[in-house]
C-alpha cells in the first residue's frame, strides 16, 4: 500500500495552518522569505540592506543583462553556471527565466522585467557556488558590473541577499515577521533600521523602526501588516558613525485576492 501524504485533517486530526500553507495545501496561499545583508552601512544617509546598498528600479519593464565579476561563472566553469531569475513583468505578474552565465560578458534576458524579486544559482561547477558577484542590471557592463544594478548575488551566497520584495498583482501580502540585526566592529554609536512600504503612487511609508548599537530585534506581528498588490517593501539602515553591518529578514504570506 502506498503512503498517503495528506493534511492531518484528512485523518480527523489538527495540523497548524501555517504548516499546511508551507506544504502547499492551502489554495491561493504561499510563503515568501526575504533576507538581506549589508556589510558597510554608513552615517551619511539611509541605505538599503543589500550587498551594494541602494538598488535601482526601472520605470518600465525592460530586458536586463546578467553577468558575473568572475570568469569562472560560466556554462562550463567551476562557479555558477545557470541562474534562475524571478520577478514581475510590466503588469506586475510573476515571471521567471533561467539564464546561462558567460562570465563577465553580459547575457541579455529574453523576458522584460519591471522588478527582480529573487535570484538563485540553479547549477554550478566543482566550486559549488558563484565565484563572483552575479549582477542583473542595465547599461554598460565593466568587468561584469552593469552601470545600473537591479539585484545581485554576493560571492558564494548562491541566492540574492537583498532585503526587498514587491507584491505581485492579484495578491495581498501579509507581513508576519520582521527581524533586523545591527552590529559594529568597534564603537558604541547607535544604528537605526527601518522598514518602508512604497506604493505605485511613489510615496514611501515608514513602518517599524529599530534602534540598537549591537543586537537583534524581532517583530512578530500579532496582527500582520497588509501590503496591497504592487507594493514594495524594503529594509534600510543608517549608522551614527560609519562602518556598520546590517542584516534584515522578512516573512510574508501571499494570499490571492478574491475576484469580484
User: What pLDDT, on a 0 to 100 scale, did the predictor assign at position 189?
Assistant: 86
Q: Which residue has cell 497588509? A: 226
14/33 Cα distance (integer angstroms): 25
What mean pLDDT is predicted for residues 116-129? 98
Domain-wise residue ranges, the chain: 26-54+164-256, 62-153
pTM over 0.85: yes
CATH class of segment(s) 26-54+164-256: mainly beta
What mean pLDDT is predicted for residues 220-224? 91
- The phi, psi pair for 160, rounded to 5°, reads -65, 135
Each residue's pLDDT tens digit, 28-59? 899 999 999 999 999 999 999 999 999 999 99
User: What pLDDT, on a 0 to 100 scale, did the predictor assign at position 258?
Assistant: 86
Confidence grade of residue 143 (pLDDT, cut at 50, 70, 90): very high
Mean pLDDT, the chain, integer: 93
Helices (H) and strands (E) in the chain, counts: 1, 16
Is 161:51 a contact under the CB 8 Å cutoff?
Answer: yes
149/7 Cα distance (integer angstroms): 43
> Grid coordinates in use for 255?
494570499
Is 192:237 a contact under the CB 8 Å cutoff?
Answer: yes
Select the more confidently predicted residue: 8 or 191.
191
User: What pLDDT, on a 0 to 100 scale, did the predictor assign at position 159?
Assistant: 97
Provide the CB-side half-sphere exposure for 34 (13 A, CA): 30
Nearest Cα neighbor of 66 from 30, 113, 31 is 113
Select the more confidently predicted residue: 153 or 212.
153
Confidence grade of residue 8 (pLDDT, cut at 50, 70, 90): low
Amino acid at each position: 500500500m502506498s503512503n498517503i501524504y495528506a493534511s492531518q485533517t484528512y485523518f480527523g486530526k489538527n495540523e497548524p495552518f501555517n504548516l499546511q500553507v508551507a506544504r502547499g495545501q492551502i489554495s491561493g496561499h504561499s510563503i515568501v522569505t526575504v533576507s538581506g545583508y549589508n556589510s558597510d552601512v554608513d552615517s551619511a544617509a539611509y541605505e538599503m540592506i543589500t550587498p551594494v546598498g541602494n538598488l535601482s528600479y526601472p520605470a518600465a519593464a525592460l530586458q536586463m543583462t546578467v553577468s558575473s565579476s568572475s570568469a569562472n561563472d560560466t556554462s562550463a566553469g567551476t562557479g555558477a553556471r545557470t541562474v534562475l531569475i524571478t520577478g514581475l513583468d510590466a503588469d506586475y505578474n510573476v515571471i521567471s527565466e533561467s539564464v546561462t552565465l558567460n562570465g563577465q560578458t553580459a547575457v541579455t534576458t529574453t523576458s522584460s522585467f519591471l522588478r527582480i524579486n529573487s535570484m538563485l544559482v540553479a547549477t554550478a561547477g566543482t566550486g559549488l557556488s558563484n565565484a563572483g558577484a552575479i549582477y542583473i542590471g542595465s547599461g554598460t557592463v565593466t568587468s561584469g558590473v552593469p552601470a545600473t544594478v537591479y539585484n545581485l548575488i554576493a560571492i558564494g551566497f548562491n541566492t540574492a541577499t537583498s532585503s526587498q520584495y514587491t507584491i505581485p498583482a492579484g495578491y495581498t501580502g501579509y507581513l508576519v515577521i520582521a527581524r533586523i540585526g545591527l552590529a559594529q566592529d568597534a564603537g558604541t554609536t547607535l544604528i537605526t533600521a527601518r522598514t518602508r512600504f512604497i506604493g505605485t503612487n511613489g510615496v514611501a511609508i515608514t513602518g517599524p523602526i529599530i534602534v540598537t548599537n549591537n543586537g537583534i530585534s524581532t517583530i512578530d506581528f500579532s496582527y500582520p501588516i497588509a501590503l496591497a498588490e504592487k507594493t514594495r517593501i524594503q529594509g534600510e539602515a543608517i549608522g551614527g558613525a560609519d562602518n556598520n553591518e546590517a542584516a534584515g529578514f522578512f516573512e510574508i504570506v501571499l494570499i490571492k485576492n478574491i475576484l469580484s
